[in-house]
Structure 1
């Protein structure tokens, strides 16, 4: 009977974790930000006790499991609604290399060594650190790299360009419909200029979900209404 109970509890624990994973969504699995990491560790510990710890009643374990699931879901929900909360819960991307210079202070704060940085760069097929223009540690722990112009692979579009300007770091102007004033101030961009660019595109500020000046200097806008007749939504 004890073995049978353990089997049933293990099956129940596995089923519950599958349901919780579906509720929390793919982003939790893929990104693993600070609060995602805490939620996964805690839920895993509770589920493990549910599977084999016969000294604790199933009712108490289920209550604890559902409570932590609710907390994780609410944190994810409020993070999506509020950029400041998302920044506090999940953290911010950190620049490790800027304009070809290693940011030692940022690396010390994150306790990242040069060996680790070089290892991550090799994972991006970059074996010479001097080829890197920007390197950013993302929220999920991965490192995004922008190579210097002379180290970037040639594309079909490049073959038709005579003069290539040096790439700059992308500047996010609007996120989740909110203007990022800090980025405007750091780059001497006024709200009036931003509004004028939005107007040139035939848009209104209320319809813009995301706006960014890309590394090649182009201004990109994403509307809330995508105007796609048959959007692709693959599970």
Structure 2
């Protein structure tokens, strides 16, 4: 029973740690961040099983993690409030071609990271982006400006000049 309690406590710690660390995808991690995550995994195992190297201890620990994963998944599925709390909400990073610095700061993203993701999506310029949204899973969704559409600040400048 001690293994189950330890696994429950470690699950809570890991879950909170992942939420605090932010919405980075595995592919966006630096090599150092990846190594840290592997080491954390080993430390978690040591903290849960201590000197219990039995098959039963390992099965209990893994089953406890799986159980809490399923419980949180069902909670998010059944309750929109729980979903927002557990999985987070999408955050707008670019709006009508303008980078929203406060959103970048909150998620510890840099302009170069956004530009890199834009290039991967086949977008050459920030002015071509109507919306860029950081999804709860860590991916960035881009919605291009419609052909012939300009960002609001350009439209206002054109109207004022004309």
Smaller-chain TM-score bracket: 0.5 to 0.7
- Per-residue CA shift, 1:76-121, capped at 9, x if unaligned? 0110000110111111111001122211001000000000000000
Q: Which residue does the alignment assign to 1:96?
A: 93
Cα offset for 1:139?
1.2
Give yes or no for the alignment of 1:136 onto 2:133: yes
- 1:57-136 to 2 correspondence within 5 Å? 57-136=54-133
Higher RCO by CA contacts (8 Å cutoff, separation 6 or greater): 2
Using the alignment, how far apart are the partners of 2:56 and 2:114 within structure 1?
46
| Alpha carbons of structure 1 residues 81 and 45: separation in structure 2 relative to 1, 3 Å | farther
The TM-score, its normalising length taken from structure 2, stands at: 0.60
Structure showing greater radius of gyration is 1
Cα offset for 1:54?
8.8
- Per-residue CA shift, 1:157-214, capped at 9, x if unaligned? xxxxxxxx88xxxxxxxxxxxxxxxxxxxxxxxxxxxxxxxxxxxxxxxxxxxxxxxx
Kindly indicate whether the alpha-carbon contact (under 8 Å) linking 2:96 and 2:127 is maintained by their aligned counterparts in 1.
no
Tell me, what secondary structure is at the counterpart of 2:109? Answer: coil
Using the alignment, how far apart are the partners of 2:52 and 2:64 within structure 1?
20
Q: Which residue does the alignment assign to 1:172?
A: none
Using the alignment, how far apart are the partners of 1:101 and 1:133 within structure 2?
9
* The structure with more helix, counted as a fraction of residues: 2
Cα offset for 1:72?
0.2
The TM-score, its normalising length taken from structure 1, stands at: 0.42
4+ residue runs over 4 A deviation: none
